[in-house]
């Protein structure tokens, strides 16, 4: 609301805008005074402002890898008396997050509202002739440029068919 009042105060004035909005003019003027003179802010806000500088420094010194727990520990080693939840809150407000290792890749996102496909083989994976039952799988392989998705199709009677084998070998050669 303060930003709205700032934007329209020249056209309408502060008091008429505050009559329409659920705020008192004194609240707006108090906010302006705190904006001009940071020493009028609450002690928590003043301390948070100082801590944000130190948190950003520690975070950047760690090459943007440290999360809230490690930033908190480093600040404590440097002599800052601060709670871990405070560091978490300020890092969240600043948009800082540590590196996450082992993040899983979602290969499928199931649609819970869609009906399940029919079970056409009734768990009987012993076909009596070729091309009667094919099974498939979708997998991913991590590589330096990113994730590569691979689809496999296998004839359940003979294992990997020659067509699929040639296709897979051709894909690997590329």
Q: Token pair 């948190």 is at which residue?
A: 55
Q: What is the pLDDT of residue 52?
A: 97
Q: Give the C-alpha distances (Å, rounded to integers) separating 42 from 14, 26, 84.
A: 24, 17, 20
For the chain, domain boundaries: 2-94, 104-174
- How do the pLDDT tens digits run along the chain, 174 residues long? 888 998 998 999 999 999 898 889 999 899 889 889 989 999 999 999 999 999 999 999 999 999 999 999 999 999 999 999 999 999 999 999 998 877 666 767 788 898 887 877 777 777 888 888 888 877 778 778 877 888 878 877 776 555 555 554 444 443
- Alpha carbon distance 166, 173 (integer Å): 11
Question: pTM here?
Answer: 0.52
- Alpha carbon distance 152, 76 (integer Å): 53
Beta bridge partners of 148: 141
- Alpha carbon distance 55, 88 (integer Å): 10
Q: What is the pLDDT of residue 66?
A: 95
End-to-end CA distance of the chain: 59
Cβ(59)–Cβ(75) under 8 Å?
no
Backbone angles phi, psi at 141, to 5 degrees: -125, 125
Beta bridge partners of 172: none
What six digits make up the tokens of 76? 């404590």
Q: What is the pLDDT of residue 54?
A: 97
Beta bridge partners of 149: 140
């Amino acid at each position: 609301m303060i930003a709205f009042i700032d934007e329209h105060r020249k056209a309408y004035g502060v008091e008429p805008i505050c009559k329409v909005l659920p705020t008192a003019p004194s609240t707006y003027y108090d906010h302006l005074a705190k904006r001009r003179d940071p020493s009028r802010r609450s002690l928590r806000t003043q301390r948070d402002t100082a801590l944000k500088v130190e948190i950003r420094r520690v975070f950047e010194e760690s090459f943007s890898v440290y999360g809230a727990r490690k930033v908190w520990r480093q600040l404590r080693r440097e002599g800052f008396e601060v709670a871990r939840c405070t560091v978490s809150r300020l890092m969240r407000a600043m948009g800082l997050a540590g590196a996450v290792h082992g993040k899983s890749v979602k290969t499928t996102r199931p649609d819970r509202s869609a009906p399940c496909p029919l079970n056409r083989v009734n768990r009987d994976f012993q076909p009596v002739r070729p091309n009667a039952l094919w099974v498939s799988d979708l997998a991913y392989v991590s590589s330096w440029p990113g994730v590569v998705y691979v689809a496999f199709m296998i004839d359940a009677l003979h294992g990997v068919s020659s067509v699929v084998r040639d296709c897979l070998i051709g894909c690997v050669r590329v």
